[in-house]
Chains A and B, each alone.
Chain A
């Protein structure tokens, strides 16, 4: 895989996570106070930096075959989870990831929470909301950047893609001062799910000892095949959903979709 593909894949995957972190930070900062929000963000970034500093060099100690097997397996499982959710969303079985809706719920919760400080932080709620949001979304950024970078022997290049995504999203967020609801997040998640699964399968099989026909060029077949299968599953589920009556005990569609949207959505 060339450098451009590596940077682009990491960039898109990390941009999705950065958009989600931005929504939480904006909700905390605009409704509570910016100082505690930035403190939470800074502590989360420091924790992430420690994770990168410890895990990154440690990965280079493993033989490449072992690394590809372990990282490939993790990526394939992780990608399968993303792809499954993306297909369920695209086919209407799960509510679309709605950044504006999530923002409104975070704002309502932030307004309802009581004020109060701890450990030198003026607003503990804003601090913890920002800390958790940045840490959890940041862990996904770190996971993707490290797994892709270590397998390609260029963690630095993957870090460039991840950092560029975070900076671009942060810059747009600062300019807009609103959640980036118009980013085609669901389509991006679908594409990222395909890429994570494809690279996971490629590296996992290589780590298990397989020699791919055409070597790296096999990815040019593997990625479209997995993408086509995912689109096929989506179309099948859409057709089944449109044609099939609700089974016994199934909630009405409107109520079900409302519940899905309000229950909070992960990646």
Chain B
């Protein structure tokens, strides 16, 4: 049973997150930061998530291609 649950979890992890978990982590942190800035500081940081996502994409691509010609 635990093996089945583990396989099920791994399938969904691979399905949604894929090869690089860092992109998912950046999205989660950026969304939490956005919510914090909106609700605690009263700001409207619409630019934060797009910037973080594009930066995460660049970072992930850099890691994937480092050392490859």
Which residues of A are at the interface with B, using a C-beta cutoff of 8 A? 69, 72-74, 76-78, 80-81, 83-85, 87-88, 91, 93, 139-140, 143, 197, 200-201, 204-205, 207-213, 218, 222, 225-226, 229-230, 233, 237, 240-241, 244-250, 253, 256, 266
Which residues does chain B contribute within 8 Å of A83, judged by CB atoms? 57
A84-B49 in contact (CB<8A): no
B69-A209 in contact (CB<8A): no
Between-chain CB contacts (< 8 Å), 13 pairs: A73-B27, A77-B23, A80-B23, A80-B56, A88-B64, A197-B53, A201-B49, A201-B50, A205-B48, A210-B34, A218-B46, A226-B54, A246-B69
Interface of chain B, helix or strand or loop or mixed?
helix
A-B contact count (CB 8 A): 119
Minimal beta-carbon separation of A170 from chain B (angstroms): 23
Interface: B9 (CB within 8 A): no
The chain A residue with its CB closest to the CB of B23 is A80
Which residues does chain B contribute within 8 Å of A241, judged by CB atoms? 65, 68-69
A240-B65 in contact (CB<8A): yes
B46-A87 in contact (CB<8A): no
Among candidates B20, B53, B61, residue contacting A233 with C-beta atoms closer than 8 Å = B61
Which residues does chain B contribute within 8 Å of A93, judged by CB atoms? 64-65, 68
Minimum-distance CB pairs A-B, first 4: A246-B69, A209-B38, A81-B18, A247-B67
The chain B residue with its CB closest to the CB of A229 is B54
B69-A84 in contact (CB<8A): no
A80-B34 in contact (CB<8A): no
The chain B residue with its CB closest to the CB of A242 is B69
Among candidates A212, A245, A266, residue contacting B69 with C-beta atoms closer than 8 Å = A245
Minimal beta-carbon separation of A234 from chain B (angstroms): 9
A244-B69 in contact (CB<8A): yes
Among candidates B34, B44, B58, B65, residue contacting A88 with C-beta atoms closer than 8 Å = B65
Among candidates A143, A218, A233, residue contacting B58 with C-beta atoms closer than 8 Å = A233
Given contacts A210-B49, A241-B69, A246-B69, 13 further A-B contacts (CB under 8 A): A80-B53, A80-B60, A81-B17, A84-B20, A93-B64, A93-B65, A200-B27, A205-B34, A210-B46, A212-B46, A225-B50, A233-B61, A241-B65
